[in-house]
């Protein structure tokens, strides 16, 4: 018999819901993005995000059921992101999912957002079976993780300062490219020379698998300021390409070190920055050179979505891990705490 999971995601600026069959087959994947609203402010405004989630969540969930051709009665469990993320936005999804669970009597499953991003890979065919190494790169996280098995994670390295996506967004803003910066830098970089500027590739001494992007970001900002003071023209495409190359070089080299050290032969990418074309190509090439099997979800499953939450929720569900109705939002939820 098939198992149908409804997955709800509202941790940042996407209100999303999806129905997934047997943790694998996506029957619907509805994403209502607030990017246009937050772009006016140059970044996500938590209070505005919360209000928009409240206005949209009902319709998004209804559409996901309708597109799947199902009703609430057909759903076996409701999975929802309960952290990490912005507390107001998280509370909207958690409260809504709790109400659905209470009203229908179906089990509630709290999902860690980072585990959700990793689980987007389980929606692929073929999909990676643990153990595998996963690099989760998003607006809020840069985590290099050894996935021992579902629910058991060892964080091998993480960012000591800015997340990779945050660095993209800040540099894009300085270049006048607008929000969110990642896709804009990606596009602009295609026209530029990645070797034009040698921006620093920072390494963290304490743990060589940790990341630091604030030095790189400052170096780009200082360079842009120096041009401004001299009244010289900014070669936006070259700066974008050189900055992107510096980020990708570090992400690839740390990931390959993690694979070498662990001896694991499977690698997966996840999170919004995993949509980056230069990162996808660079990682695929480095994996091929080492005989490592490489997995990356399509961009629609890299960005925040409900399908990845349903995929993770399904795996918790079949392990009997369900949440009680006193589930609360945990803005700084850690991955190992699962
Ligand atoms: O996973 P996500 O949708 O939300 C969070 O959980 O943070 O990631 C959003 C981040 C933003 O920082 C955005 O600029 C970045 O992913 N991003 C990209 C690309 N597409 C989205 N960064 C680089 N290149 C892209 N193509
Ligand atoms: Zn995310």
Give yes or no: residues 10 and 115 share one domain.
Answer: yes
**Contact 140 CB / ligand 1 (< 6 Å):** yes
With beta carbons less than 8 A apart as the criterion, state whether 238 and 197 touch: yes
Compute and round to an integer the Cα radius of gyration of the chain: 20
CATH of the domain at 311: 3.30.420.40
Place of tokens 């290099």: 144
Mutate to test the pocket of ligand 1, among 39, 49, 89, 168 (most ligand atoms within 8 A of CB): 168
Give yes or no: residues 94 and 51 share one domain.
Answer: yes
Which ligand number lies closest to the CA of residue 276? 1
Give yes or no: residues 270 and 331 share one domain.
Answer: no
Give yes or no: residues 199 and 284 share one domain.
Answer: yes
Spatial separation of the C-alpha atoms in residues 94 and 71, rounded to whole Å: 20
Could you tell me if residue 246 is inside a domain? yes
Please identify, among 296, 313, 328, the residue that sits at the C-terminal boundary of a domain: 296
Give yes or no: residues 58 and 149 share one domain.
Answer: no
CA 230 to centroid of ligand 1, rounded, Å? 33
**Contact 182 CB / ligand 1 (< 6 Å):** yes
Q: List C-alpha distances in Å: 7 to 89, 314, 322.
A: 15, 9, 14
Place of tokens 């945050």: 166
Give yes or no: residues 187 and 316 share one domain.
Answer: no
Q: Which helix (H) or strand (E) holds 132?
A: strand 132-137
For residue 63, how many other CB atoms are within 10 A of its CB? 14
Question: Strand, helix or coil at 20?
Answer: strand
Three-class secondary structure assignment of 41-89: CCCCCHHHHHHHHHHHHHHHHHHHHHHHCCCHHHCCEEEEEEECCCHHH
Give yes or no: residues 230 and 83 share one domain.
Answer: no
Give yes or no: residues 234 and 277 share one domain.
Answer: yes
Could you tell me if residue 73 is inside a domain? yes
Atom of ligand 1 nearest to the CA of 166: 12
Spatial separation of the C-alpha atoms in residues 85 and 117, rounded to whole Å: 13
Could you tell me if residue 263 is inside a domain? yes
- The total domain count for the chain is 2
In sequence order, what are the residues at sequence separation of 6 or more whose Cβ sits closer than 8 angstroms to the Cβ of residue 86? 11, 12, 44, 46, 49, 50, 331
**Contact 304 CB / ligand 1 (< 6 Å):** yes
Give yes or no: residues 156 and 288 share one domain.
Answer: yes
Could you tell me if residue 18 is inside a domain? yes
Could you tell me if residue 134 is inside a domain? yes
Spatial separation of the C-alpha atoms in residues 12 and 305, rounded to whole Å: 11
Give yes or no: residues 135 and 279 share one domain.
Answer: yes
In sequence order, what are the residues at sequence separation of 6 or more whose Cβ sits closer than 8 angstroms to the Cβ of residue 23? 3, 5, 122, 310, 311, 314, 315, 318
pLDDT score, position 206: 79
pLDDT score, position 43: 86
Give yes or no: residues 137 and 257 share one domain.
Answer: yes
pLDDT score, position 51: 97
Could you tell me if residue 124 is inside a domain? no
102-116 CB burial, b ≥16 within 10 A, e <16: eeeebbbbbbbbbbb
Parallel, antiparallel, or unpaired for β 266-270 and 132-137? parallel
Give yes or no: residues 133 and 264 share one domain.
Answer: yes
- Taking the mean position of all CA atoms in its chain, how far away is CA 126? 20
Residue 193 burial (10 A CB sphere; 0-12, 13-18, 19+): middle
With beta carbons less than 8 A apart as the criterion, state whether 91 and 99 touch: no
**Contact 297 CB / ligand 1 (< 6 Å):** no
Could you tell me if residue 155 is inside a domain? yes
**Contact 9 CB / ligand 1 (< 6 Å):** no
Residue 9 structural domain: 4-119+301-337
pLDDT score, position 137: 98
For residue 190, how many other CB atoms are within 10 A of its CB? 12
Mutate to test the pocket of ligand 1, among 85, 165, 279 (most ligand atoms within 8 A of CB): 165
pLDDT score, position 42: 85
**Contact 275 CB / ligand 1 (< 6 Å):** yes
Could you state, in chain order, the average pLDDT of each consecutive group of 10 residues for the chain (338 residues)?
A: 97 96 98 91 91 97 98 98 97 98 98 98 97 96 96 96 95 93 97 95 85 94 95 95 97 97 98 98 98 98 98 98 98 83
Could you tell me if residue 68 is inside a domain? yes
Q: List C-alpha distances in Å: 194 to 61, 188, 223.
A: 43, 11, 16
Q: Could you check whether the bond before residue 180 is cis, i.e. omega within 30 degrees of 0?
A: yes
pLDDT score, position 337: 55
**Contact 116 CB / ligand 1 (< 6 Å):** no
172-185 CB burial, b ≥16 within 10 A, e <16: bbbbebebbbbbbb
């Amino acid at each position: 018999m098939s198992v149908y999971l409804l997955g709800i995601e509202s941790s940042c600026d996407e209100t999303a819901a999806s129905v997934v069959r047997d943790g694998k087959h996506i029957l619907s994947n509805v994403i209502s993005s607030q990017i246009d609203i937050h772009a006016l402010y140059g970044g996500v405004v938590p209070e505005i995000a919360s209000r928009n989630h409240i206005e949209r969540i009902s319709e998004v969930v209804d559409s996901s059921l309708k597109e799947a051709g199902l009703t609430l009665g057909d759903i076996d469990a409701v999975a929802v992101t309960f952290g990490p993320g912005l507390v107001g936005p998280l509370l909207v999804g958690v409260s809504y999912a709790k109400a659905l669970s209470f009203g229908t009597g179906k089990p509630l499953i709290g999902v860690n957002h980072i585990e959700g991003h990793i689980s987007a890979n389980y929606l692929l065919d073929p999909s990676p079976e643990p153990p595998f190494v996963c690099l989760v790169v998003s607006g809020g996280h840069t985590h290099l993780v050894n996935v021992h098995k579902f629910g058991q994670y060892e964080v091998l390295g993480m960012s000591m300062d800015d997340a990779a996506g945050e660095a993209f967004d800040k540099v894009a803003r300085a270049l006048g490219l607008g929000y969110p910066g990642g896709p804009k830098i990606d596009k602009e970089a295609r026209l530029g020379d990645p070797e034009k500027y040698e921006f620093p590739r920072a390494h963290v001494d304490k743990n060589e698998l940790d990341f630091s992007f604030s030095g790189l970001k400052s170096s780009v900002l200082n360079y842009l300021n120096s041009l401004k003071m001299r009244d010289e023209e900014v070669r936006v495409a070259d700066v974008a390409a050189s900055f992107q190359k510096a980020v990708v070089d570090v992400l690839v080299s740390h990931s390959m070190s993690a694979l070498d050290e662990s001896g694991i032969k499977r690698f997966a990418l996840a999170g919004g920055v995993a949509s980056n074309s230069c990162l996808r190509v660079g990682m695929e090439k480095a994996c091929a050179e080492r005989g490592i099997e490489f997995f990356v979800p399509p961009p629609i499953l890299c960005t925040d979505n409900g399908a990845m939450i349903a995929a993770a929720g399904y795996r918790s569900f079949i392990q009997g891990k369900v949440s009680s109705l006193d589930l609360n939002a945990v803005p700084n939820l850690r991955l190992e705490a699962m």
